Amino acid sequence: MKKERVGKTVVIRISIMWLFVLSIVITSIVALFKNHIFAANDTEEVSEVEQIVAVEKNQNAVNVLEVMVENNYSNKKLVNEEREVEYVTEMRETDKLPKGEEMVQQKGKKGKEQVTAMQTYQEDKQVGEEIVERVTKEEPITEIVYVGTSEFLSKYNVHLGSDMYLIETGDIKKEPKEDSEKVYSLRRYLNVTLDDISGEWVKVKYKNYEGYIQKTKLTSESVTPKIAEKNRIAKLQDSVSLDMDLSKPSGLTLSDYKTIFTYNENDKNAIFADNAITFYNIEKEYNINGIFVASIGIHESAWGTSKLAKEKYNLFGYRAYDREPGKNAQNFENYEDCIETVAKALANNYLTETGKFYNGATLAGVNTKYASDKDWSIKVFNYMEYLYDKLG
């Protein structure tokens, strides 16, 4: 009995000794991690995840971290990787676009961030993640999208910068109000460039003029399909002025010339009607405005009724100098020959800078040497306006 008690006592003493040694080892390990790895605040508790991050940041403790994850977190994985950050899309309403139409004003761009996270797995499938730290590397750029609200732009299927057409004569105003100063008067069917919208007015541009015109005076090709052809004619008519460059073709088609010279009551012998194609052809041949040439002929021959026109086919009084004009005037074989000869002489001598009678390629410039009548240019211009207006 005495021997059995002694044996039990020895075993108990040995067990107590090993427990004591083990407690010392555990205490030492805990102290080591607290002092050298986790760097925790004395007054705050440190989570297991933060402890792991601290270990990861300590390059000397990489092996320890691996052991801890393997032994204590076998279903977790610590990752440190660069990730994309989605951008935000911001929608803004604007009356500068047709209703319902969208336009990207600023394109969005994803950002970048460095993420440290503890991922949880079950049977090799990720079931959770706890973000430990985020470090922004590149901020995302917000995408800005404008959404149109304009009923006007939608109705006429146009945008700012589009052409619109006048359905009636109208004035460009300096300010968007009826009693504002007039900037420029526009004839019907002319086109203006839409620049902005201001209530019941729109800001427009025409040539070098800029100002406001009422919405009700405008239409679009989408709403009025045949307006484009009428606009072509209106622009040709609007180009007529005393200062227009006569050394350039008029831009009229053969059909336009036939329209202009048909049904003129004063063209009793149909001289100009029969030579519409001749006036059209000289534009290409001599680089001259054919309506200008025709207007000189109408003025000088009184629509082909003058003596020179009847006897010498001379519609222009060509070479009919003040002294004995009838005797000196050139005789032509036909009206076509006359028109072509005079057109060539005008182009070479009056409308070209190297020409001997050149004083500018305008009516006033030609008047200087061509006619002694100082009002000759005005009289010819009146016929030009009449002929252009016959287009419609």
The pLDDT score that the predictor gives to residue 11 is 41
The pLDDT score that the predictor gives to residue 324 is 56
The pLDDT score that the predictor gives to residue 319 is 86
The pLDDT score that the predictor gives to residue 10 is 41
| Residue entry with tokens 């005393």 | 242
The pLDDT score that the predictor gives to residue 198 is 85
Residue 302 falls in which region: left (phi positive, over 0), alpha (psi -120 to 50) or beta: left
How does pLDDT run across 71-124, given as a tens digit for each residue?
A: 445 699 999 999 999 999 999 999 999 999 999 999 999 999 999 999 999 988
The pLDDT score that the predictor gives to residue 325 is 60
How does pLDDT run across 190-238, given as a tens digit for each residue?
A: 999 999 998 899 999 999 999 999 999 999 999 999 999 999 999 999 9
Q: Does domain 239-389 have CATH number 1.10.530.10?
A: yes
Nearest-CA neighbor of 364 among 374, 352, 354, 353?
Answer: 374
Nearest-CA neighbor of 81 among 116, 109, 106, 49?
Answer: 116
Q: What CATH class is the domain 157-233?
A: mainly beta
User: Is the entire prediction scored with pTM above 0.85?
Assistant: no
The pLDDT score that the predictor gives to residue 339 is 98
Name the residue ranges covered by the structural domains of the chain. 1-74, 157-233, 239-389
Residues of the chain with pLDDT under 50: 1-16, 18-21, 23-46, 49, 52-69, 71-72
The pLDDT score that the predictor gives to residue 47 is 53
The pLDDT score that the predictor gives to residue 74 is 60
The pLDDT score that the predictor gives to residue 4 is 46
The pLDDT score that the predictor gives to residue 83 is 97
